[in-house]
Structure 1
Amino acid sequence: MPSNVHKNDKLAYSIREVSEVAGLSPATIHKLCNEGHLVRRKVGKRTFILAQDLENFFLSRPREKYRGSAIFGDKEGR
């Protein structure tokens, strides 16, 4: 078992679960799969996305650039 997977963590998620965990619609999850950004895996009639694949997808996204914050008095953040 990989060192980053803990006993209580899920190994794979259904499309609906990925949608809930990631905060994205099921349609967006299907689109990401169709575009090759996420990999679907079939077990019988069920479709899963590995937790590791989901994590890797988010880690591969570019970071948002810091634009300042009005909270800290930076005028650029407004």
Structure 2
Amino acid sequence: MNTVLSYSVAEAVGASGVGRSFLYEQIKSGRLKARKLGRRTLILAEDLQSWLAALPTIKAGVQ
């Protein structure tokens, strides 16, 4: 069993499909929680999932 507990910013970008700058904006604004380990920025998997789940949904017929 190889469960991911945290992501680097680059890994979070790949896992979420959003851009690096946008991800940093979300961290800076406090919408996405991140942690520091020395110089590394880590995002817990559960925090990334919660942030994605909280994004607005698209209503039917709206593009």
Please tell me the TM-score bracket, short chain as reference. 0.7 to 0.9
Corresponding residue of 2:3:
9
Higher relative contact order (CA 8 A, sep 6+): 2
**Percent identity over the alignment?**
32
Task: Name structure 2 gaps, 5 residues minimum.
Answer: none
Q: CA deviation at 1:10?
A: 0.8
2:21 to 27, 34, 37: 27
CA RMSD for the aligned pairs?
A: 1.8
The one-letter amino acid paired with 1:8 is N
TM-score (ref. length: structure 1): 0.71
Could you say which structure has the larger radius of gyration?
A: 1
- Structure 1 runs, 4 residues or longer, greater than 6 Å off: none
**Counterpart-to-counterpart distance in 2, 1:38 and 1:9:** 21
Equivalent runs, 1:20-59 vs 2, <5 Å = 20-59=14-53
Q: CA deviation at 1:9?
A: 2.3
Matched residues, number: 63
Indicate the SS of the match to 2:47: helix
Task: Name structure 1 gaps, 5 residues minimum.
Answer: 1-6, 69-76
TM-score (ref. length: structure 2): 0.86
Indicate the SS of the match to 1:54: helix
